[in-house]
Amino acid sequence: MLFKGSGVALVTPFTENEEIDFASIDQLVDFHLANKTDAIITMGTTGEASTTSDPEQIECIAHVVKRVAGRIPVIAGTGINHTDHAVELSKEAENVGADGLLLVTPYYNKATKRGLYEHYKTIAGSVKIPCILYTVPGRTAVEIPVSLVKELSEIKNIVGIKDATGNLSYTAAVKHAVPKEFAIYSGNDDVIIPVMSIGGHGVISVLANILPEVTHNMAEYCLNGDYPSAAKWQVKLMPLIKALFCEVNPVPVKAAMQLLGMPSGNLRLPLTKAEPATFDRLEKCLKDLGYL
């Protein structure tokens, strides 16, 4: 298991010239190290990996690895819909020091169950570091069947799944099917406590970009069996969590970071700056919570 608790799905700041802002990444990494984040996931969905070139993606992973310097795990998003391409990215991420990989389902081509198995088996077999499956059917139109998660969990270095289905029946079925040590991470901030209450090990979180210590504490409460304390925070934060997804991620979270004076940078097309109504909604949520 790569980690327990709160892993941040780290944003990637871009300059006005649309270059990766490495100085801002350093500030964000330091912020997470100081505020109890348990793992950093770089170049995932929230990190806008789909708008970066391969050299940029690997350079960003290497930069985060160097800045973290072994203090917490760094997990690199290297999933893509072409298996050979994913293998190349995964090998490069391993070579620059990533502790593990996050592998989204191949999107658009919508592989069969057997195709998904071979895809993941091939990637996992090309590296020695641990791999986390990532199912997010709302984006990819592909869900990893529970029976396939069970098959894949038998591959030595496939060690967990980021479950962004939002379907607790699916999560419970996965938990029942896989070995005890196979990690299940919520991919949705609105169900951190429900997922962990049925045996999940933590969250890969968008919310943690702005409230890392709170997100860590929620997960830690669950890991310690204190679900009432965790639930209080889950309920309290629901308006903010909903606001963070009122436009496509990571548009709102970058807006929230701007409101909080954090270095979030620009977005790359086809993503654009949050609408004024989104800023207003986020500002109200943050003021109501006492963060502004």
Domain ranges of the chain: 5-231
Q: Quick one: pLDDT at residue 261?
A: 97
Mean pLDDT of 207-225: 98
Catalytic residue among 162, 170, 185, 221: 162
pLDDT for residue 1: 82
pLDDT band at 255 (very low <50, low <70, confident <90, very high): very high
Give the residue-averaged pLDDT of 262-268: 94
pLDDT for 55-98, tens place per residue?
999 999 999 999 999 999 999 999 999 999 999 999 999 999 99
What percent of the chain stands above pLDDT 70? 100
Is there a catalytic annotation at residue 291?
A: no
What is the b/e burial string over 191-219, where b = at least 16 CB atoms within 10 angstroms of the residue's CB? bbbbbbeeebbbbbbbbbbbbbebbbbbb
Mean pLDDT of the chain: 97
Written out in words, the top-level CATH class of the domain with range 5-231 is alpha beta
Which residue is catalytic, options 36, 120, 134, 221?
134
Task: Determine whether 162 is an active site residue.
Answer: yes
